[in-house]
Structure 1
Amino acid sequence: MNKVLVVTGGSRGIGRAVSLLAGKRGWIVCLSYVANREAADSVVREIEAGGGKALAVKSDVAVEAEVAALFAAADRLGPLGGLVNNAGVVDVAARVDEMKAARLTRMMTTNIVGSFLCAGQAVRRMSTRHGGQGGAIVNLSSVAARLGAPNQYVDYAASKGAIDSFTTGLALEVAAEGIRVNAVAPGLIETEIHASGGQPDRLARLGPSVPMKRVGTAEEVAAPILWLLSDEASYTTGTIVTVSGGR
Structure 2
Amino acid sequence: MPDWNALDDAYGSAATVGAMLEELDAGTGEVDWDALWSHLCHQSTVYSASLQALHYLLRAALKAVPAQRIEPLVLAGAIVSLADSAPVQVPGHPELLPLLQDCTAQTLHEVARDDLPEASFLHLLQAGLAFGGEGVWSRALAGVLEGELSGVCPACQTDLYIVIDPPQAFVTHEEWIGGAAVRTAVIEAGAGDPAAESERWLLEMARAHRDGFADTLRLLFGSSRCTQCEAPFELREAVRLNG
TM over 0.5: no
**Which of 1 and 2 has higher RCO (CA within 8 Å, sep 6+)?**
1
Please classify the TM superposition score into its range, dividing by the shorter chain length. under 0.3
**Taking structure 1 as the reference length, what is the TM-score of the superposition?**
0.26
